[in-house]
């Protein structure tokens, strides 16, 4: 293609933007996770003022994106004025409580002494005099040179002295004084003067040390000013649940899995290209939506694998082995070979056994993997029969193949529930080996409800006439969904749907907003029980009366098959006309569920950003901006700046300027404060206020020169320029705030110079 050929020098000379080996650290490269980020922001906002914040536990399989999400926690916490401390754990930290808490204390004090604190009416200062101050230098002497100071009054901490004495005397299993450590932590909190978020990565090393977890609980659960954030695999949760009795009272659990939505995978694939100035629509295969569906299916939405596949596709374009980034057999083969370089697959018996399977046997393995480990082989066959009939295999053949997979060690069967016996690497390798042979295997890491929902999605989207399928795992009796939906659309109803059932309320609200131009949505509530497992699923989609009849006829066929094999399956559907948006807004204003208000406002903000940056849909981005401003309560600094930016880009400088002033007034983030000041200067200059606008731009440059590299980063900015004697703007994606401000200032100052100068 001519476009690709014209970009080939840039593509060949720049590093491959898909860094599959490392977590995401920059916001502009982070994709998806809207619901997770919503919860994180909510609890961070609560933690700013709460004396004892709710802590966070981010749990998910390896390579699922936990550390990347932890990096976003750090950015969001810093924006809210937290002092953020990172503690990256390894096996040595679990050897003894003293080793663990020394690592914690060292990270905490080092970070605190680098954290600039500024109180109203006073100049910025570094706690304890900074890292060059007497306190920190004394700490280094104690902790690493084992020199105890003669004058203890010069040093306020007790724990480092204990650590030094134990290390010198080589006392094994020395008891740690939690009272002394707690006292030290209170001193640090008071000196820093802002909430402290401690982020622990790779917490699985603590699963083997209940003692350390119990000491963490005893120290921090009664300690104000601190918020803990853990990451770990699901194996960590039972141990934490026992120690924190139960964990749900003290931690908000955030589950991280592969991207559930194809759009999230698409965003993960396109953002790196946009960051280096390459148009994703031109780089991917012409049928981009199909290509993204294929990418989503093969990778199971796991960010690591999305990046790995894209890395291989991009490399093939760089090396001129392909014109575009397209998934084919050679790409899958390259991905599998890349995996083999990281592991000795010959020493892995499960992989060797999988290699010998025929295509029909791989298909049976895929069925077991899809439905997850909560069902018997008989139950899995029943569900396959219910949703797909007997097109591929009959019962006897299916059960015989499952037995063979068990005998070969590919499946184990605790409690008569077959499940894949391999680890994460075995799963990844098996997926790509199967893909090369034309078989899709997706290892289920979700509930039965999500698997049932996916099966429903496959049937519904195969029918003609409907669109916008959304699935939610929301246990609710089928008889209740109709009443809640009616209350949502009835302006006279005083029923607070968001309080009665938060998930259903948000589902209905989003569906109505997304399908506001379709006239109607169809709500399908489904209950399935098989063996000892059950699933409740809500499905919402747009459609019409004719399409509803088609759906109900198809679901009726599923129900008949379920009855035939003894599976309980009930379904209730309702067609709802989309109400006037004013009714929805009023429902939100009147609701007593503050969490839902914040959740839906964050959802609108994400829709606005995606419409502006992704789809370049002016009408949609302005609609979402208007919806955000309708919500009650004051906007946060980030939201106000983002809404203002969209309005500024569309020419509404007056409203945008008010939003930027609000963002500046409430901001505790250097990044957002810098962004809002630059955007405000752009409003002034575009409105013709050259004097004040130029001075504001100069102030922005001065602030930018003092800011860190991270604080200067922006996903996009409107770059100021002078065209035909007038000030204009052009969007730059991504952007460095200081660079853009300096370029704009130069252009404006040139415009203001006398012509004879």
* 117-136: pLDDT as tens digits: 655 455 667 888 888 988 89
Q: Are residues 133 and 236 in the same domain?
A: yes
Report the chain's mean pLDDT, rounded to a whole number: 83
Mean predicted confidence (pLDDT) in 224-247: 73
* Residue ranges making up the domain that contains 692: 634-752
- If asked whether residues 555 and 639 sit together in one domain, one would say no
Asked if residue 666 and residue 544 are part of one domain, the reply reads no
Whether residues 179 and 324 share a domain: the answer is no
Where residue 740 sits, what CATH number does that domain have?
Answer: 1.25.40.10
272 and 251 together in one domain:
no
pLDDT band at 241, cuts 50/70/90? low
Highest-pLDDT range among 86-100, 251-265, 444-458, 636-650: 636-650
Give the range among 57-71, 347-361, 435-449, 564-578 with minimum mean pLDDT: 435-449
Region 235-247 average pLDDT:
61
Q: Residue 567: inside a domain, yes or no? A: yes
Dist CA 278 CA 274 (whole Å): 5
Residue 468 has pLDDT above 80, yes or no: no
Domain harbouring 229, CATH code: 3.40.50.300
Our count of domains for the chain comes to: 4
pLDDT of residue 51: 67
Residue entry with tokens 């509404």: 652
In a domain, 593, yes or no: no
Domain assignment present for 250: yes
Same domain? 249 vs 267: no
**Do 411 and 454 belong together in one domain?**
no
CA distance linking residue 543 with residue 515, whole number of Å: 10
Domain for residue 9, yes or no?
no
Q: Is residue 443 part of a domain?
A: no
In a domain, 596, yes or no: no
Q: Please spell the DSSP secondary structure of 655-705, one letter per residue.
A: HHHHHHHHHHHH---HHHHHHHHHHHHHHHHHTT-HHHHHHHHHHHHHHHH
Give the model's pLDDT for residue 187.
Answer: 94
pLDDT of residue 237 exceeding 70, the answer is no
Neighbours of 625 (CB within 10 A): 26
With respect to residue 595, please indicate whether it lies within any of the assigned structural domains.
no
Supply the pLDDT for residue 113.
92
Give φ, ψ of 546 to 5 degrees.
-65, -40
Rank 155-164, 180-189, 568-577 by mean pLDDT and report only the highest. 180-189
CB 11 within 8 A of CB 317: yes
**Same domain? 477 vs 396:** no
Answer with the residue of higher pLDDT: 332 or 685.
685
pLDDT at 242: 64
Query: Where is mean pLDDT largest: 147-151, 254-258, 621-625?
Result: 621-625
Judgement on whether residues 338 and 196 belong to the same structural domain of the protein: no
Task: Report the range out of 177-181, 326-330, 365-369, 465-469 with the highest average pLDDT.
Answer: 365-369
> What's the whole-number mean pLDDT along residues 376-388?
91
| Whole-number pLDDT of residue 71 | 92
Task: State the pLDDT at residue 408.
Answer: 94
Establish if 6 belongs to a structural domain: no
Which residue, 234, 255, 276, sits at the end of a domain? 255
Question: What is the percent of the chain where pLDDT is above 70?
Answer: 89
Average pLDDT over residues 177-187: 89
User: Helix, strand, or coil here: 81?
Assistant: coil
Among residues 436, 458, 473, the one where a domain terminates is: 436
| 131 closest CA partner among 153, 101, 99, 106 | 106
Same domain membership, residue 553 and residue 480: yes
Q: Are residues 222 and 296 in the same domain?
A: no
Nearest-angstrom CA–CA distance, 174 and 339:
44
How high is the pLDDT of residue 2? 45
Q: Are residues 645 and 662 in the same domain?
A: yes
Domain termination residue (choose one: 205, 227, 255): 255
């Amino acid at each position: 293609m001519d476009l690709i050929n014209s970009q080939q020098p840039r593509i060949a000379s720049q590093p491959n933007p898909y860094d599959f080996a490392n977590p995401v650290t920059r916001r502009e490269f982070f994709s998806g996770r809207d619901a997770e980020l919503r919860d994180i922001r909510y609890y961070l906002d609560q933690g700013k003022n709460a004396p004892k914040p709710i802590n966070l536990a981010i749990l998910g399989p390896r390579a699922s994106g936990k550390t990347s999400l932890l990096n976003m926690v750090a950015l969001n916490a810093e924006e809210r004025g937290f002092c953020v401390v990172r503690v990256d754990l390894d096996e040595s930290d679990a050897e003894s409580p003293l080793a663990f808490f020394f690592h914690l204390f060292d990270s905490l004090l080092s970070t605190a002494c680098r954290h600039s604190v500024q109180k109203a009416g006073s100049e910025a200062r570094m706690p304890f005099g900074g890292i060059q101050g007497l306190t920190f230098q004394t700490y280094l002497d104690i902790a690493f040179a084992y020199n105890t100071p003669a004058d203890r009054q010069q040093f306020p901490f007790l724990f480092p002295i204990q650590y030094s004495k134990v290390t010198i005397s080589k006392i094994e299993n020395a008891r740690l004084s939690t009272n002394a450590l707690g006292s030290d932590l209170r001193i640090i909190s008071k000196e820093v003067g802002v909430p402290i978020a401690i982020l622990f990565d790779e917490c699985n090393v603590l699963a083997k040390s209940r003692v350390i977890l119990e000491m963490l609980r005893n120290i921090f659960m009664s300690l104000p000013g601190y918020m803990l954030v853990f990451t770990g695999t699901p194996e960590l949760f039972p141990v934490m649940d026992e120690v924190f009795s139960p964990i749900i009272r003290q931690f908000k659990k955030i589950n991280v899995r592969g991207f559930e939505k194809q759009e999230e995978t698409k965003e993960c694939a396109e953002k790196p290209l946009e960051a280096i100035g390459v148009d994703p629509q031109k780089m991917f295969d012409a049928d981009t939506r199909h290509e993204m569906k294929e990418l989503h299916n093969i990778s199971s939405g796991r960010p690591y694998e999305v990046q790995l596949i894209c890395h291989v596709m991009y490399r093939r374009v760089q090396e001129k082995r392909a014109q575009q980034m397209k998934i084919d057999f050679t790409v899958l083969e390259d991905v599998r070979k890349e995996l083999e370089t990281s592991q000795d697959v010959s020493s892995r018996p499960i992989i060797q056994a999988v290699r010998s399977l025929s295509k029909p046997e791989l298909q049976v393995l895929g069925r077991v993997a899809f439905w997850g480990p909560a069902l018997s082989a008989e139950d899995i066959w029943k569900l396959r029969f219910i949703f797909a009939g007997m097109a591929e295999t009959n019962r006897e053949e299916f059960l015989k193949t499952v037995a063979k997979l068990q005998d070969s060690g590919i499946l184990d069967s605790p409690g008569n529930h077959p499940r894949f016996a391999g680890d994460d690497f075995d799963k990844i390798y098996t997926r790509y080996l199967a893909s090369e042979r034309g078989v899709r295997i997706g290892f289920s890491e979700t509930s039965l409800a999500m698997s049932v929902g996916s099966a429903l999605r496959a049937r519904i989207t195969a029918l003609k006439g409907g669109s916008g399928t959304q699935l939610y795992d929301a246990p609710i009796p089928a008889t209740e969904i109709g009443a809640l939906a009616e209350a949502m659309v009835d302006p006279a109803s005083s029923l607070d749907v968001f309080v009665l059932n938060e998930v259903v309320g948000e589902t209905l609200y989003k569906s109505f907003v997304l399908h506001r131009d379709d006239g109607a949505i169809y709500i399908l509530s489904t209950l399935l029980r098989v063996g000892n497992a059950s699933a409740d699923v809500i499905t919402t989609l747009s459609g019409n009366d004719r399409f509803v009849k088609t759906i109900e006829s198809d679901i009726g066929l599923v129900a008949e098959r379920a009855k035939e094999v003894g599976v309980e399956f009930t379904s209730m559907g309702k067609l709802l006309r989309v109400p006037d948006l004013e009714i929805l807004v009023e429902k939100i204003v009147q609701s007593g569920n503050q969490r839902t208000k914040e959740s839906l406002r964050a959802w609108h903000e994400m829709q606005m950003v995606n419409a502006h940056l992704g789809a370049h849909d002016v009408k949609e981005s302005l609609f979402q901006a208007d919806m955000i401003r309708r919500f009650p309560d004051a906007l946060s600094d980030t939201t106000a700046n983002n809404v203002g930016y969209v309005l500024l880009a569309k020419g509404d400088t007056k409203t945008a300027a008010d939003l930027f002033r609000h963002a500046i007034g409430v901001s505790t983030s250097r990044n957002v404060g810098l962004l809002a000041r630059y955007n405000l200067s752009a409003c002034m200059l575009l409105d013709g206020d050259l004097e004040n606008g130029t001075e504001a731009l100069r102030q922005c440059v001065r602030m930018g020169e003092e800011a860190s590299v991270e604080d200067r980063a922006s996903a996009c900015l409107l770059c100021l320029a002078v065209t035909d004697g007038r000030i204009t703007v052009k969007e730059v994606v991504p952007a460095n705030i200081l660079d853009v401000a300096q370029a704009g200032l130069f252009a404006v100052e040139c415009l203001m110079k006398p012509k004879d100068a």
